[in-house]
Structure 1
Amino acid sequence: MRILAVGDIIGRPGRKALRELLPQLKKEVGYDVVIVNVENAAGGFGLTKKVYEELLELGVDVMTSGNHIWDKKEIYQFIDESPNLLRPANYPEGVPGRGYGVFTKNGVKFGVINLMGKVFMDCNLENPFKTFDRIYEELSKETKIIIVDFHAEATSEKWAFGIYVDGRASFVYGTHTHVPTADEFILKKGTAYVSDVGMTGVWYSAIGMKPKEAIERFLLSLPRRFEVEDKGEIMFNGIFVEVEEESGRAKKIERIQRLI
């Protein structure tokens, strides 16, 4: 199975990049499955039903997220009825939505788990390592191909998690920081790993937002309302991974970065 994971897409520019590049990448790498982190897809904060449906039309198979998934209040109206939309699985019991699932593409089953780190994040989360253990026991009965979006701040936590699940997960990739890392590897036991995919949005920006307000916030230590930067070249960041279907082990990992 060939998997394309796309980093946090930022508002309209991020969606534009998907629209223009997914057909091209389909021809180039021949991906089977597209997984996109969508927590910043609608105006830079959260997800709306309209944007969700737009992404489905663009061919996105599974949508993952993180702490910003709740920023648009209408998410509560459709997240429970959207099986291919995930929120972090280690939120407390009773939170709407689902954190993992088994999906089928071209007759092949694959599992996707969405987790969020605890370092510099919400301390009320369950331990992501233990949450993975619990979910893995369930998913591994249905498929060998298990993919994890680990939405976290600290690179040390991401790396530790990657090694912890090496040989069980097929592919672990980090999201959240919006900055791509150059550490894509296949770990010793066969898990493809990268610390952060990076964002898909205007590159000359403050991680996708207009720089002016971000700079003022750093200079003055006062709150500022961020807006998506919508002018300039757009950077697409993704990771392509090829997984052996019978064993679930990764055979290839490649970082994809394009300017449009």
Structure 2
Amino acid sequence: MRLLVLGDVVGRAGRTAVATHLPRLVERWSVDFVAINGENAAGGFGITEEIAQGLLDAGADVITTGNHVWDQREALVFIARQPRLLRPINFPPGTPGRGATMVTARNGARVFVANVMGRVFMEALDDPVRLVEAALEQHAIGSEVDAAILDVHAEATSEKQVFGHLFDGRVSLVCGTHTHCPTADHRVLPGGTAFITDLGMCGAYDSVIGMEKEEPMRRMVERVPGQRMGPATGPATLCGVAVETDDATGLARWIAPLRVGGDLEGAVPPGWQERS
């Protein structure tokens, strides 16, 4: 099974990159399932219903989020009627939306996706490990589901790596989001789970984590508040990973980086030729 998982979409530049490249990649490589983090898609802050639908129309099967999920207040309402948009599973009970879902992939397989937020240098949410454990008890790969993806939206690299080791052998992929910088540690862990500390972003890299660089540079030098930061508008890179899983076990055969367009050096999965 072929999984494509993309990092945080930042602003219009990131959305344009997704709309431009994702449909072609899905068709060319016969990708079975696409997950994408959309929490910065609306001007760098949150996501709207229209933007969420645009990402789904471009080929995303599930949209994950993180600490910016409520920056656009309408998300508090429309998330209840959009089962393919997730918010972190460890938000308090009664929070609108859901933190995990199961979706049927293009090839008919059952794919479980969970979205969790870290607690190091972030909000003091509920215990993420306990809640992921509970979700996976009902969605074991190889029996209840054919593949499982865990998006760990966290600041600390160590926390994301702990999640990888904790759930090695129980999910197809553990991927980090939030820091917007792609890491080079993609690998299959000993138990068969693909892992990367951070997927990077779908956005303009001539920026400061996707935002126009002038304002954050000024703030660092002058140390006083100023204008609201806005997303960079230059050429954007579509950034994430491709994972191929074993149909019998749901575990990863291999993982490879994906970088298309924009300023970063390109990278495409070496084994993914067009399917006949």
TM, length-normalised to structure 1: 0.96
Q: Name the counterpart of 1:160.
A: 162
Q: Name the counterpart of 1:56.
A: 56
Q: Name the counterpart of 1:243.
A: 245
Q: Name the counterpart of 2:184.
A: 182
Secondary structure of the equivalent of 1:14?
helix
Deviation of residue 115 (structure 1)? 0.4
Aligned counterparts, 1:3-82, within 5 A: 3-82=3-82
Deviation of residue 27 (structure 1)? 4.5
- CA–CA separation in structure 1 for the residues paired with 2:55 and 2:45: 15
Secondary structure of the equivalent of 2:183?
coil
Deviation of residue 14 (structure 1)? 0.6
Aligned counterparts, 1:75-114, within 5 A: 75-105=75-105, 106-114=107-115
Deviations 1:135-187 (A, max 9, x none): 11112262142110000011111111100100011101000000000000000
Deviations 1:189-224 (A, max 9, x none): 000000000011111001110111111221222234
Secondary structure of the equivalent of 1:68?
coil
Secondary structure of the equivalent of 1:20?
helix
- CA–CA separation in structure 2 for the residues paired with 1:223 and 1:30: 47
Letter matched to residue 92 of structure 1: P
- CA–CA separation in structure 2 for the residues paired with 1:88 and 1:34: 18
- CA–CA separation in structure 2 for the residues paired with 1:88 and 1:52: 16
Which of 201, 204, 207 is equivalent to 2:203?
201
TM, length-normalised to structure 2: 0.90
Letter matched to residue 59 of structure 2: G
Structure 2 residue runs of 5 or longer lacking an equivalent are 263-276
- CA–CA separation in structure 2 for the residues paired with 1:100 and 1:223: 37
1:229 is aligned to 2:232 = yes
Q: Name the counterpart of 2:271.
A: none
Deviation of residue 92 (structure 1)? 1.0
Determine if contact 2:36/2:64 at 8 Å carries over to the other structure: yes
Q: How many residues align?
A: 258
RMSD over equivalenced CA pairs, Å: 1.2
Letter matched to residue 20 of structure 1: T
Which of 218, 221, 227 is equivalent to 1:219?
221
- CA–CA separation in structure 2 for the residues paired with 1:64 and 1:14: 15
Deviation of residue 134 (structure 1)? 0.8
Letter matched to residue 94 of structure 2: G
Runs of 4+ aligned structure 1 residues displaced above 6 Å come to none
- CA–CA separation in structure 2 for the residues paired with 1:138 and 1:103: 14
Structure 1 residue runs of 5 or longer lacking an equivalent are none
Richer in helix (by share): 1
- CA–CA separation in structure 2 for the residues paired with 1:13 and 1:64: 19
Q: Name the counterpart of 1:173.
A: 175
Deviations 1:67-116 (A, max 9, x none): 00100011112001110000000111111100001111121101000001
